[in-house]
Structure 1
């Protein structure tokens, strides 16, 4: 689906809304769920992204609480950092600092972390990025790249 090809803002927004529940996005979410059940931490992290941004929801409804659970379940430094952002957003400052500290101890924010993660890869494939390439939302935003 070519969202940016629409010149009419209403058509662009409609195309982006449809992208949230496109067959490819829904199929990706099913595969992420299956992989997460098997313990795949990149899949868990991306399920957090899908719930945080409303992918797979016909109304675009976001579920930051469920997203935070997936970020925590991933155990990845990036997931723990995202969990800290959620705790902070709901006013739990001490909990937010705990998650931020754990993420930092595991390498989040360090110069070597992203390079090491991409070199190691996921599922035996090096060069794998943590974030999937999610389509733009109706607002035009895309998920933060970790």
Structure 2
């Protein structure tokens, strides 16, 4: 896997990140949460997306209806990530920043028995329920 040395080389060894590849996007974790950082190639610099963990799937769905009623742009979802199992909703803020509400992310508590999987960067890898079909990847 060429991707791991390319993206993890500048990270100090003391950080001890683990990576699950999503195409050329490494999903990195520093603790038991499936991924905390994703290094995504985009046309702009800086933070591209902020995830807020919510308590339940009902919180995700309530947010979907609230955002829809306020006519705020839904970017992706509701759906479920096959990479982590998290149920999610992505939406855009006024400055174009993408925010995510999600719940149910996979926790990897036994490192020795966990086998990272590799996903292609395509709609099925973003949402196992089909909400990414029209997304421009």
Q: Normalising by the residue count of structure 1, what TM-score does the alignment of the two structures yield?
A: 0.25
Larger radius of gyration, structure 1 or 2? 1
Structure with the largest fraction of helix: 1
